[in-house]
Structure 1
Amino acid sequence: MSAIGANSGGTGAGRKLRLGMVGGGDGAFIGAVHRIAARLDDCYEVVAGALSSDAERAQRSGAAIGLSSDRVYSDYRTMARLEAAREDGIDVVAIVTPNHLHAPVATAFLEAGIHVICDKPLGISLAEGQALADLAHARQRVFALTHTYTGYPMVRHARELVESGAIGDVRLVHVEYAQDWMAEADNQAAEFQSTNWHNDPKRAGPTGCTGDIGTHAFQIAGFVSGIQPNQIMAELHSFTPNRILDDHVQVMLRYPNGARGMLWASQMATGCENGLKLRVFGTKASLAFDQENPNELWLTPQGGSAQRLTRGRVRGAAAEAATRVPSGHPEGYLEAFAQLYRDAAAQIHAVNAGLPVPAASAWLPTVVDGVAGMKFIDAVLASDEAGSRWVDLAV
């Protein structure tokens, strides 16, 4: 590995892509993360935005990140129409709004011929998600979904190990995503629960914790293991007084090959910060990954000693392609996010040029993953409403 990583310095496909953003105005955490990720590999330039529906806040937010005032919008439909008409209009839009706006915003830009990078979940209903998938396919636009954790080099190495047969046939999949932010006293207050969009079904969708972090757990489990459950049994729960949506979910998983699994996600897990953990057990060996220690992966062969594999030292095409700095120099969340942006840039350049999608970017989460996540949410709801019975899941 070179001193600055194998693939540092953009996609190698020519000019920077012109990026627009919807949402992410001043004070918004995830908008800033997207902009950092887009800049990290020199693949994009942010040139336009509808950063707020409030015109004054939109202009203030646009000025803060250096946008020209004539390319700051307070309406995303206007932005899609005007940017599509410009010779120097945006190539791709990043959508960083609350969930209920994902589908209408993405629809407007896809119909204008503009590629999309969208936060998860894909929308607030399966029907919305499927319509987006159909539209993206019909318009032949790239639609990336920011399941960030699949951008980590060691997650990609884990998938490569599974695909190579290194752990044998998968028997067990265990994934958990534990946070405690909802348990903070201020966030337990009635005022927070009545005003925060994460507890509003009209803006968050039909689930809370499940759609917010449960979909991350579900997606990374399938990404690494290579298998998807065909039946689930789920229980939703809220520990928060008077909360409408769930703050905790636990799910049993059955797979077509006979494997079994467990998924639990909670925003009430006292003492947990961002505890996304995955274990995959095969007939030959097991893998273990902890998102809070993303530069290492544990491989334990049956009857053997646990092996600590580290980013920058493993020899594998997938990990090396997602590595930027030498071993011992930690890479983390922002770099993983940037990897998705780099993969998306490579795909957008290829599609625009009428070329096949580069193999190195093929693991980018897309609208297809988004539809699978919406199907998972629907199955969790169906199982819970039926008294936690087993229900079918086809993804």
Structure 2
Amino acid sequence: MIYILSFCVRKTDNVIISSLIPLIGLVCLITTTSTAQNKPLRVGVIGLTHTHVHWILGRPADDKVEIVGIVESNMELAKRYTQQHGLSMDLVYPSTDDLIQHAKPEAVLAFGTIYDHLEIVEKFAPLGIHVMVEKPLAVSLDHAKKMEALAKKHGIYLLTNYETTWYPTVHSALELLKKDSIGTLSQLIIRDGHKGPLKIGVNREFLEWLTDPVKNGGGAITDFGCYGANIATWMMNGEKPLSVVAVTQQLQNENNPEVDDESTIILTYKNAKATIQASWNWPIGRKDMEVYGKHGVIYADNRNDLRIRIAEGYDGYQETKRRLNERPPPYNDPFGLFAAVINKEISLPPYDLSSLENNMIVMEILDAARLSAKKGKAVKMQ
């Protein structure tokens, strides 16, 4: 928006002119700031092997985010995806150095292996370039600590993107809990997963590292266990569990020979419990949860469908159902939110689902869960 200031004074009215100069400067500042905030965030996409990349490649054009470059060494994959989304191959660079030199991104989005996340932060944090990674934050707590140190040293935002972060039901569940709609939280049951990467038909570039214990940090316990750890940490307002117990299985040895494909993680808190069921063996894909209070339960059945049951007697209840609309911008889109945070239009609350402090605890939980499954006993966290 441009403001026009119109006035008429005599040359001899120096006092009047002098008094108007600060006002003119203020108008110019408002105009410049408004224009700057309307410029889309210049983002680079690092890697194309994570199929969540279609989220950004297929995102409708707006004034919030602009893809200025893509780093991918697999030219066949790059050509396939750019053609699919109507993008130019001129956007594709063979290396991060080429991207930095020619595209000058303000932020980057990581869509390669989870193991690559550390290297990406090592490259871009010293340049003051912000980073958003796909879940989980890292393959291990050791990697995560190095990433956290770099982010803090160089003053960049380091966010983690989860699909469930954008579910209206997830946020409504917490709002209802805060309003004491079901009483004090007693336990969470969070279920995420699908039939397994091979069975749902992920492409070969994704499958190659998703079932690799080094590049992905594990199997289902990492791929889907992170969702539950993220939501539990958020709903517990950053409280760490006292202990973590995990059991893993390999029910599809022929499809996932090197990693687990079935896992259950139990988080014990001072006054609550969370059970995370992360599986590549569900007959149908699912991302749902149950939130239990002292006198009721909230069922977040999927992205938009929510049920509330208030207990009556031994096994009776009154149930209400809600079909929720999408959340308003920028809270309905990871990349719009990333831009809003960088532009100081919003600030993330403590232990927000996307925040670094939340996801550092997620990595502590995942490391403890893998250790618990390996040793066959509980691992203390505090």
- After TM superposition, the score normalised by the length of structure 2 is 0.78
Contact 2:121–2:151 at 8 Å: present in 1 too? Answer: no
Aligned residues: 337
Q: Percent identity?
A: 21
Is 1:152 aligned to residue 167 of structure 2? yes
How far does residue 198 in structure 1 lie from its aligned partner after superposition?
2.0
How far does residue 17 in structure 1 lie from its aligned partner after superposition?
0.8
Is 1:204 aligned to residue 224 of structure 2? no
Contact 1:158–1:287 at 8 Å: present in 2 too? Answer: yes
**Residue 170 of structure 1 aligns with which residue?**
185
How far does residue 234 in structure 1 lie from its aligned partner after superposition?
0.9
Give the structure, 1 or 2, with the largest relative contact order (CA under 8 Å, sep 6 or more): 1
Distance 1:209 1:223, change over 3 A: same
Is 1:14 aligned to residue 26 of structure 2? no
Is 1:247 aligned to residue 261 of structure 2? yes
Distance 1:276 1:60, change over 3 A: closer
How far does residue 309 in structure 1 lie from its aligned partner after superposition?
2.4
**Residue 310 of structure 2 aligns with which residue?**
301
Between structure 1 and structure 2, the one with the greater Rg is 2
Tell me, what secondary structure is at the counterpart of 1:134?
helix
Q: Distance in 2 between matches of 1:154 and 1:148?
A: 12
**Residue 331 of structure 1 aligns with which residue?**
none
Q: Structure 1, residues 333-370: CA drift from partner, whole Å, max 9, x if none?
A: xx98x5222221111101xxxx8x44689845123333
**Residue 74 of structure 1 aligns with which residue?**
94
Tell me, what secondary structure is at the counterpart of 1:138?
helix
Tell me, what secondary structure is at the counterpart of 1:383?
helix
Contact 1:172–1:260 at 8 Å: present in 2 too? Answer: yes
**Residue 44 of structure 1 aligns with which residue?**
65
Taking the TM superposition and a 5 Å limit, the aligned residue runs for 1:1-395 are 13-24=37-48, 29-37=51-59, 39=60, 42-50=63-71, 52-54=72-74, 58=78, 65-67=86-88, 69=90, 71-80=91-100, 82=101, 89-182=104-197, 184=199, 196-205=208-217, 207-226=218-237, 228-241=240-253, 243-257=257-271, 259-269=272-282, 271-273=283-285, 275-291=286-302, 294-303=303-312, 304-312=317-325, 322-323=327-328, 338-350=332-344, 357-358=346-347, 363=352, 365-387=354-376, 389-393=377-381
How far does residue 145 in structure 1 lie from its aligned partner after superposition?
0.6
How far does residue 60 in structure 1 lie from its aligned partner after superposition?
7.1
Distance 1:237 1:77, change over 3 A: farther
How far does residue 56 in structure 1 lie from its aligned partner after superposition?
6.7
Q: Distance in 1 between matches of 2:355 and 2:109?
A: 13
Structure 1 range deviating more: 111-120 or 296-305: 296-305
How far does residue 221 in structure 1 lie from its aligned partner after superposition?
3.0
| 1:342 maps to amino acid | G
Q: State the superposition RMSD in angstroms.
A: 3.1
Contact 1:58–1:74 at 8 Å: present in 2 too? Answer: no
Contact 1:95–1:106 at 8 Å: present in 2 too? Answer: no
Unaligned runs of 5+ in 2: 1-35
Q: Distance in 2 between matches of 1:362 and 1:373?
A: 11
Q: Distance in 2 between matches of 1:198 and 1:367?
A: 23
Distance 1:60 1:185, change over 3 A: closer
Q: Structure 1, residues 80-101: CA drift from partner, whole Å, max 9, x if none?
A: 3x15xx7xx2111111001111
How far does residue 67 in structure 1 lie from its aligned partner after superposition?
4.2
Q: Distance in 2 between matches of 1:253 and 1:169?
A: 17
Structure 1 range deviating more: 359-368 or 275-284: 359-368
Distance 1:340 1:361, change over 3 A: farther
How far does residue 20 in structure 1 lie from its aligned partner after superposition?
0.9
Contact 2:65–2:336 at 8 Å: present in 1 too? Answer: no
Q: Distance in 1 between matches of 2:364 and 2:295?
A: 31
Contact 1:158–1:224 at 8 Å: present in 2 too? Answer: no
Distance 1:126 1:359, change over 3 A: closer
How far does residue 142 in structure 1 lie from its aligned partner after superposition?
1.6
- After TM superposition, the score normalised by the length of structure 1 is 0.76
Q: Runs in 1 of length 4+ with deviation above 3 angstroms?
A: 39-42, 54-68, 182-187, 224-228, 357-364
